[in-house]
Amino acid sequence: MLRLVAGLETPDEGTVSIGQDTPATLARAHRLGVAFQDHALLPWATIAANVALPYRVAGRAVDHHRISELLALVGLKGFEHARPRQLSGGMRQRAAIARALVLRPDVLLLDEPFGALDFITRQQMNIELQDIWLRQRTTTLLVTHDVPEALFLADRVVVMSGRPGRIIHDLTVPFSRPRTPPLLRSHDFHHLVDDLTEMLAQAHHGVDVPSTGASRTAGA
């Protein structure tokens, strides 16, 4: 799904649109930001140089003020001249998210960005990602296998089956923002986690799950 939205794949049927534009139009204009599970930072470059990379790819002048602003936003102020190997996994992911946001994209695509992190670090990164989103307000599409993560971060959760990928449930998340750690321990939160997990388990074992009739993909 992310590859379709990023314009890296062409659908066999139908169309993909982002607002009034095609993914290819946004990609050519560098209006899509992408961060993956593997941070993909250049190991020989400083963190500031890594965040500046999209400017160079787009052929634009580097906005050093914007880079400093984003590094402060993601909690990396003071690490501008560090190399990726000098940072923890969570810090490297923050740098990757800053790089994805540096050109002020219309849409941010996140592919399991915290999947390689330990539980405590991942939970903290979820809180920090929400804080970043509340300040930037960038439309974000997050793909994750972690149900609590999806519920904590998203305004809308779409549950998909595998092979072939089909939408089996479309949920508008009922929790207000900002969301705080106590939400993760609430009855309502755990009830929704259980429901969505059961849907995924049934889909995995080939059990028919009642459809909501939804036909669109989701943004977090």
- The pLDDT assigned to 87 comes to 94
When pLDDT is cut at 50, 70 and 90, the band that residue 163 belongs to is confident
Give the N- to C-terminal CA distance of the chain in Å, as an integer. Answer: 14
Place of tokens 């599970």: 37
What one-character-per-residue DSSP string does 5-74 give? HTTSS--SSS---BTTB-HHHHHHTT-EEEEESS----TTS-HHHHHHHHHHHHT----HHHHHHHHHHT
Calculate mean pLDDT across residues 189-207: 85
pLDDT one-digit tens code per residue, 132-151: 889 889 999 999 989 999 99
pLDDT, mean over the chain: 88
Spatial separation of the C-alpha atoms in residues 151 and 105, rounded to whole Å: 24
The structural domains of the chain, ordered by start, are 37-138 (3.40.50.300)
Predicted TM-score (pTM) of this structure: 0.84
